[in-house]
Amino acid sequence: MNRTEHRASLQEQIAALAARRMAEDGEDADRAKHKAAADLLGDAARVHGALPDNEQLRAALRAYLRSYGGQAYRDWLRGQRLLALEWMHRLERFAPHLVGPVLDASATRTARVELDLYADSAKDVEMTLLDLGIDFRVDQAEGRHRHVQQLIGFVAHVAPETGPASVRARPGTLRGTPVLLTIKDPVALRTGSGMRKGTAEPQLHPVERAARADTTMLRRLLDDTDRPDAPDAR
């Protein structure tokens, strides 16, 4: 095995171990990668250059979740996507698109539902959320893409009687899911709509490989992955 092959093998092993940490322990990607590398190599000086990139880690995480998540995970992911679709309908005036791990099937139980919205003013989004009675927080977007205006976070609740059985709350309670809205200038809607780098895995639905999905695409994904003959029974 030459040096390039050895490095690729190390990255694959680190990604697999990090994915397990993320899925089982809820660790974030950066911490999980470094801990996995330290466990395998035992020498912090050797970690440099051996860490997998984020796409490699997401691929390993998807593989782990497919192998060990079972039907309970597939039901949970579907519930997250249904929740995303519900909020995309509520915020349809802002051309909402689902992005992130809930879209690309790498979401762990600690993942947020991430939606990109497109508005001339972030204040319009804030006013809409206020009209919907949503308690939200606002974060500034310093250091992010120049078209990003603002970040808005809130907790969406699933009623006990709705959604797949694995995501239902106990009677008399509400189950909270964190939602992150990234408010972008409308010009950004015309760019960056291609496929995600490194997501050519045959198990993935074409919509899961997309950089973002509008309501039509998300409905297609939900319809296709609900069929009995869908890949991985998804």
Q: What is the pLDDT of residues 164-215, one digit of tens each?
A: 443 443 443 346 899 999 999 999 988 766 666 555 688 899 999 999 999 9
- The pLDDT assigned to 168 comes to 42
CA angle 175–222–23, rounded 5-degree value: 55
What pLDDT is attached to residue 164?
43
Radius of gyration for the alpha carbons in the chain, expressed in angstroms and rounded: 19
Contact between 110 and 26 (Cβ < 8 Å): yes
Beta bridge partners of 234: none
Give 86's Cβ-side CA count (13 Å radius).
16
Q: Domains of the chain: which residue ranges?
A: 3-68, 70-233
Please, are residues 143 and 174 in contact by the beta-carbon 8 Å criterion? no
Buried b (16+ CB within 10 A) or exposed e, 194-226: eebeebeeeebbebbbbbbbbbebbeebeeebe
Work out whether strand 113-118 and strand 175-184 pair parallel, antiparallel, or are unpaired.
Answer: parallel
* Helix segments in the chain, DSSP class H: 3-25, 29-41, 54-68, 70-90, 101-104, 122-131, 215-225
Task: Return the minimum-mean-pLDDT range out of 51-60, 95-104, 124-133, 154-163.
Answer: 154-163
Contacts made by residues 132-135, CB under 8 angstroms, sequence distance 24+? 132/90
**Which of 8-12, 143-147, 195-199 is the least confident region?**
195-199
The two counts, helices (H) then strands (E), for the chain are 7, 5
